[in-house]
Copies of this chain bind each other. A is one copy, B any other.
């Protein structure tokens, strides 16, 4: 069955009763923070997500585009990112913006990188400009295989070998099962990016195994597979009619029909330009604040 989701929280919803997964939920006003731990390989296999920690920040109010909500969610992203980052205050970090900057729903990573507070060149070449030590941060958007002709992993690996960061933060656009999540959800995971996940699917994984340092994945859903819209509707209908037998039959018919008529069509909301602009600004704030917490304002001024 096609699951088509990059969100651990959605994968778990589809498999609510399996063992080896723990979830803790915190509500902050209107923001819901779910912290899922996939604890066993068995559970990982069932829900199709690697062993590790997944934090999902759900803020439906983001859809109303109020600056106040943006700031609040940015601060929560920063805090959850720090919780999973677990490296020294001044340890070097590399920020990697995955995806293709010329395809709007895929441009989240490159956009966050554009707004990252990059400091490594200052710490390395102009330390005299600094009153005190700060964290060296490097940031690149390595492009995608179809555009560069080179595996993303190879470019990132080379960067990691040269910069020798204590951790990598990899930012990526995600696929969700539910379109409503597109402007309202952020996922942070300490598992890195798995092979084949993400909107572009030819990628090799970026993770502790391939890069040799911890990789925190930070993402926002920007697309859904058209087929999941249908599947959701059919499920909802079955829920409402109580005809769960029919549901299975309908679903399998639906899949056949969708495959024939739509193919693997990936859709995104009409206002994706605005959504990517807003969400990348929230993530950039989250990353910058997590990485330079106490000196955020100083570094902002230094770089302007």
Instruction: Tell me, yes or no, whether A19 is within 8 Å of chain B by CB.
Output: no
CB contacts (< 8 Å) of A197 on chain B: these are: none
CB distance from A99 to the nearest CB of B (A): 11
Copies per complex of this chain: 4
CA distance A199 to B154 in the complex (A): 29
Identify A269's interface contact among B66, B202, B268, CB under 8 A: B268
CB distance from A193 to the nearest CB of B (A): 18
Identify A158's interface contact among B119, B120, B159, B202, CB under 8 A: B159
CB nearest to A236 among chain B residues: B257
Interface mask (A77-102 → B, CB under 8 Å = 1, otherwise 0) = 00000000000000000000000001
CB distance from A47 to the nearest CB of B (A): 23
Residues of A in contact (CB 8 Å), total 72
A149:B229 contact, CB within 8 angstroms: no
CB distance from A252 to the nearest CB of B (A): 10
Instruction: Tell me, yes or no, whether A129 is within 8 Å of chain B by CB.
Output: no
Instruction: Tell me, yes or no, whether A162 is within 8 Å of chain B by CB.
Output: yes
CB distance from A220 to the nearest CB of B (A): 14
A149-B139, A179-B226, A233-B254 known; A272 vs B261 contact (CB < 8 Å) = no
CA distance A267 to B304 in the complex (A): 21
The 3 closest A-B pairs by CB, nearest first: A158-B158, A120-B149, A138-B149
